[in-house]
Structure 1
Amino acid sequence: MQTSTETETFGFIVNDISRLIRAEMDRRTTEAGLGLTTGEGRVLLNVRRFGPTRQNLLAERLGVEAMTLSGLVDRLESKGYVERQPDPADRRAKLVTLTDEGEAVVCGMEPITAAIRADAARGIDPDDWQLLLAVLKVARNNLMAARAEAQSAESAAA
């Protein structure tokens, strides 16, 4: 069986970019004295982006197990950055919400995320950068649709 050593493919490139962004976020948030892990920062940024979010949905968005997310939320809650509140649509579920202190931390992260984006875009024509973002969004939507289709087929088979 022949194996491919090609690493300049879509998956490898996207994974490398993601890994580099996480490493830079870790380094820069540490330098800024924000006292957050990358995982904690990702939770805060996602809750800010989407608003109060059920823990199971947040875990799925972050690509982590429910127990991993629970630990991250526990730490953020102990720092006063998030709160767990009952979901009015389902009292058994909890919504993770950002506190005012959490909002302030996210505001402290904004210049860091902007600088990382600027570093990534350095030397790329602004129109090309916008095209890249648009194409990546299409790829994301295609993968989300394929996943939804597969889940629907699994549900129908069960």
Structure 2
Amino acid sequence: MATPRQTARTDPLTMEVVELIGDVVARFYEDYEDAAAEHALTGAQARLLSLLSLEPLPMRKLARKLKCEPSNVTGIVDRLESRGLVERRPDPTDRRVKVAAATDEGRRIARDLREGLRFAREPLAGLSAEERGSLRDLLRRMLAP
């Protein structure tokens, strides 16, 4: 008897949805790279800045979130710090640890980046509020642990 995982692999509808999700992800990253370039940032710099606009984070946690080596994060933070977009601060809970934090200008650029993502804005605007809510709920279910 086929397991649910095997059935999902061979189900044409599931495969089509998987391909569509891949297309959405590819378009998102392409648009994100374009939005980053408008601010003379790389995609990695923009992603790090966006994370730091939410909360200050230690380098190791940034590396885990970005799925890269801590030494890479240090270089990205150095470049953003030289532009005045990020600063290093002592961690308020452990003064031995440094956290990276977005400056006011860094938060402004992170907000501009989010607002500059165009690829889904028009297609989403074509959906009703109820359809957008359903899509959000389905995506949340897919991402739930």
TM-score, normalised on structure 2? 0.75
Return closer, same or farther for 1:121/1:65 CA change in 2, 3 Å cut-off: farther
Q: Aligned partner of 1:19: which letter? A: A
Q: How does 1:83-122 map to 2 (within 5 A)?
A: 83-113=87-117, 115-122=118-125
Structure 2 runs not aligned, ≥5 long: 1-8
Return closer, same or farther for 1:69/1:16 CA change in 2, 3 Å cut-off: farther
Return closer, same or farther for 1:76/1:120 CA change in 2, 3 Å cut-off: farther
Q: Distance in 2 between matches of 1:121 and 1:24?
A: 15
Q: Percent identity?
A: 27
Structure 1 runs not aligned, ≥5 long: 143-158
Post-superposition Cα deviations, 1:38-85, rounded to whole Å, max 9, x if no partner, equal 111111111112x11122222222222322222211111111100111
The aligned counterpart of 1:43 is: 48
Return closer, same or farther for 1:56/1:35 CA change in 2, 3 Å cut-off: same
The aligned counterpart of 1:156 is: none
Higher relative contact order (CA 8 A, sep 6+): 2
The aligned counterpart of 1:62 is: 66
Return closer, same or farther for 1:18/1:72 CA change in 2, 3 Å cut-off: farther
Q: Distance in 2 between matches of 1:57 and 1:105?
A: 22
Return closer, same or farther for 1:68/1:8 CA change in 2, 3 Å cut-off: farther
The alignment's C-alpha RMSD in Å is 2.5
TM-score, normalised on structure 1? 0.70
Deviates more, 1:120-129 or 1:83-92: 120-129
